[in-house]
Amino acid sequence: MKQWWKMIAVVVLAVTLLIELAMSDPQANKISQPGRECSGFDAANPSEYFRNLNSTFADLRRQLSVEKKHFATAEQASTVANNVYTLFQCRDYLSTADCVACFDIAKVEARKICKLNHGARVIYDGCFLRYEVRTFYTETELGLSSEVCRGKGTVPAETAFKLVAVQLLKDLADATPKLKSYFAVAKRQVFDGGPSAKASVTVYALAQCTGTVSQGDCGKCLMGGYSNIQACLPQPGGSSAAGGCFMRYSVTPFFADNDITNIMPHVEGGDIREVNKLQGPTIYRYKDLKSATKNFSEECKVGEGGFGDVYKGIISNGTIVAVKKLVVRTSKEMAAFESEVRLISDVHHRNIVRLLGCSGTGPVQLLVYEYMENGSLDTFLYGDKRGTLSWKKRVGIILGIARGLAYLHEQFHVCIIHRDMKSSNVLLDDDFQPQIADFGLARLLPTDQSHLTTRYAGTVGYTAPEYAIHGHLSEKVDTYGFGIVVLEVISGRRCNHMKNELVTQSLLEHAWKSYNNGTHEDLIDETIDSGEYNVENAKKMIEIALKCTQSPVSLRPTMSEVVVMLMNYASSEPKQINKGPVE
């Protein structure tokens, strides 16, 4: 009997140890920075210098293990040539034991590589150690920022992966300086954009600043890191490090989900808006919306769409909203209404109009959206606000629309095909940021069925031929519509209406002709000052639009590929040179 209990005790002990071993990981994989690890000259009085160094090590180790700090500095002053300043930092997700373990490895390694040098810095995935004969705590060493890429093989859905990773790193670089801890980790899923909309891979990323740098320097350092680390994409992992900050991403998790930082409230200018996921759509009372829109009066009507009319309304707390009446026909469609609203209200992107809520119980179904004072893009192109958009604004609008569509297709957890991309479905906010409207209404792409549908929801002139004629629906239907919108934005002309021509000709046909003819410059809106753009660059933009409208479908790029093309375009746009006096 006694034997029996002993055996259980041994097994329990062994299992506990194993679990601890498996959980414990000081992440002491060194990030090599050859030639940058040691600094200064050999110490003039090594025994004094390294005795001082040892005493800073002892102090640091106490701070890490007893005070359980993840960032600490220690000094040992004696004569100027032998003063020692030491700084150590762990990633915040490491346990105290792992942090101390990483420190123990780092201090031995630093001494081993830098021998008699005054200064050393060693960087690991899990921690960072540096010592010098002088103070350096506020330095970021921007110029020394460098990246190390890791992992072999390819990541599935490479283009989407790059986009998601870049955005995540950008969000982390923006948010981290604003956090008291100067530390953030987050993850984001990449959807491959196929009809199954399965997450192909998850990106895990981290940003951290040294505790002693200023907020402004933390931001600058991370922007440098953000720009360097992109060189690693699409490899499955990479990091970039400078004295003042560290960034890392990987497709393999290196922190636990409960360590994830909520960076959303700190991310400005990113694509994903501040969101409270738990909030869900607001359910409005039919009669409140009715009175908000003065009984759906003509005077409140601001638009007519394929799915019903849109009204401007002022709800009881004074907020101006857009109320859309939905023409829902069958009971099956009715049943799907609320679940679809729930899904659509989860879409949060700066280039997509936000759905606030709905009313599903009245005589008609109503959707409530954010109201956009400035109205739709078409009025700025060939309506009453014609001539108010500069080339630069147009390029920004095109990029914003592409980002919004790429999000709907590839980054949201369900692939949403808009089906009715056109200039009148793009609203402009106060900053001329485009906001895609009317998405998701034409039913979501069935995830388990073929792409065949008989229900046609497009608009003549914007609709891809395979969808208009055969009802073949895919994300590329939106790519096509987007291409047409781009041509409209560039030319300031309606897609299916040509002025100064006797024969009605489609804008697309005209664009192909002038492109092949080399007379593409004629396509550019004459209200744009020709000094604002470079003709060669404008041609590239027309090329992108034409690529989007090709048939067969397989020739058209996905929207995330379009975003990449446009970003390359934007970086090739000439910067205005300051025409100051000649020196």
Ligand X SMILES: *[C@@H]1O[C@H](CO)[C@@H](O)[C@H](O)[C@H]1NC(C)=O
Sequence ranges of the binding site: 325
Looking at 45, 339, 388, 572, which residue binds ligand X (CB under 6 A)?
A: 388
51 is a contact residue toward ligand X (CB under 6 A): yes
Of residues 398 through 437, those in contact with ligand X by CB under 6 A are 430
Looking at 41, 452, 513, 568, which residue binds ligand X (CB under 6 A)?
A: 513
> Given the complex with ligand X, which of 450 and 517 has the nearer CB atom?
517
Beta strands in 418-481 (DSSP E): 426-428, 434-436
| CA 69/CA 89 separation, integer angstroms | 9
50 is a contact residue toward ligand X (CB under 6 A): yes
134 is a contact residue toward ligand X (CB under 6 A): no
At residue 432, the 3 state secondary structure works out as coil
Q: CB of 58: closest distance to ligand X in angstroms?
A: 9
> Given the complex with ligand X, which of 49 and 183 has the nearer CB atom?
49
514 is a contact residue toward ligand X (CB under 6 A): yes
Query: Which string of DSSP letters, residue by residue, matches 219-238?
Result: HHHHHHHHHHHGGGTTSSEE
112 is a contact residue toward ligand X (CB under 6 A): no
Q: How far is residue 88 from each of residues 109, 138, 242, measured CA to CA in Å? A: 14, 13, 14
Q: Does residue 420 have an active-site annotation?
A: yes
Q: What is the dihedral of CA 33, 37, 40, 45, to 10 degrees?
A: -160
450 is a contact residue toward ligand X (CB under 6 A): no
Which is the catalytic residue, given 420, 438, 478, 525?
Answer: 420
Distance from the Cα of residue 582 to its chain's centroid: 42
> Given the complex with ligand X, which of 54 and 212 has the nearer CB atom?
54
Q: CB of 427: closest distance to ligand X in angstroms?
A: 11
> Given the complex with ligand X, which of 387 and 471 has the nearer CB atom?
387
364: which residues sit within 8 A by CB, 6+ positions away?
308, 325, 326, 327, 328
Encoded tokens for 471: 């009802």
Looking at 3, 258, 276, 317, which residue binds ligand X (CB under 6 A)?
A: 317
82: which residues sit within 8 A by CB, 6+ positions away?
43, 44, 45, 48, 49, 52, 133
| CA 484/CA 108 separation, integer angstroms | 63
Q: In this chain, which stretch among 47-55, 162-170, 173-181, 259-267 interacts with ligand X, using CB under 6 A?
A: 47-55
Select from 437, 442, 280 the least CA-distant residue to 346.
Answer: 280
78 is a contact residue toward ligand X (CB under 6 A): no
Q: CB of 111: closest distance to ligand X in angstroms?
A: 7
330 is a contact residue toward ligand X (CB under 6 A): no
Q: In this chain, which stretch among 113-121, 311-319, 487-495, 528-536 interacts with ligand X, using CB under 6 A?
A: 311-319
Residues 157, 199 contacting (CB under 8 angstroms)? no
258 is a contact residue toward ligand X (CB under 6 A): no
Q: CB of 84: closest distance to ligand X in angstroms?
A: 11
| CA 84/CA 73 separation, integer angstroms | 11
Instruction: Quickly list H helices, 407-494.
Output: 465-470, 475-491
Scan for tokens 């709800």, then name that residue. 315
Q: How far is residue 383 from each of residues 12, 79, 380, measured CA to CA in Å? A: 77, 77, 6
390 is a contact residue toward ligand X (CB under 6 A): no
Give burial (CB, 10 Å; 0-12/13-18/19+) of 267: buried
Looking at 504, 517, 571, 578, which residue binds ligand X (CB under 6 A)?
A: 517
519 is a contact residue toward ligand X (CB under 6 A): yes
276 is a contact residue toward ligand X (CB under 6 A): no
Instruction: Quickly list H helices, 275-314.
Output: 286-292
Q: In this chain, which stretch among 7-15, 21-29, 204-212, 517-525 interacts with ligand X, using CB under 6 A?
A: 517-525
294 is a contact residue toward ligand X (CB under 6 A): yes
> Given the complex with ligand X, which of 134 and 287 has the nearer CB atom?
287
101: which residues sit within 8 A by CB, 6+ positions away?
24, 26, 28
500 is a contact residue toward ligand X (CB under 6 A): no
> Given the complex with ligand X, which of 517 and 571 has the nearer CB atom?
517
295 is a contact residue toward ligand X (CB under 6 A): yes
Q: Total residues at the site for ligand X (CB under 6 A)? A: 20
Q: CB of 295: closest distance to ligand X in angstroms?
A: 4
| Overall size of the chain counted in residues | 583
Q: CB of 297: closest distance to ligand X in angstroms?
A: 6
282 is a contact residue toward ligand X (CB under 6 A): yes
Q: Which residues are annotated as a binding site for ATP?
A: 325
> Given the complex with ligand X, which of 159 and 345 has the nearer CB atom?
345
Q: CB of 494: closest distance to ligand X in angstroms?
A: 17
Q: CB of 374: closest distance to ligand X in angstroms?
A: 4
Q: In this chain, which stretch among 43-51, 72-80, 82-90, 399-407 interacts with ligand X, using CB under 6 A?
A: 43-51
Q: CB neighbours (10 Å) of residue 133?
A: 22
569 is a contact residue toward ligand X (CB under 6 A): no
> Given the complex with ligand X, which of 242 and 427 has the nearer CB atom?
427
Residues 525, 423 contacting (CB under 8 angstroms)? no
449 is a contact residue toward ligand X (CB under 6 A): no
Q: CB of 113: closest distance to ligand X in angstroms?
A: 15
Q: What is the DSSP letter of 274?
A: P
Encoded tokens for 327: 């023409």
SS3 string of 524-540? CCCCCCHHHCCHHHHHH
578 is a contact residue toward ligand X (CB under 6 A): no
Bridge-partner residues for 117, per DSSP? 42
> Given the complex with ligand X, which of 317 and 554 has the nearer CB atom?
317
Query: First CA to last CA across the chain, in angstroms?
Result: 97
Catalytic residues, by residue number, are 420
Residues found near ligand X in the complex (CB under 6 A): 47, 50-51, 54, 282, 294-295, 315, 317, 319, 356, 373-374, 388, 430, 513-514, 517, 519, 522
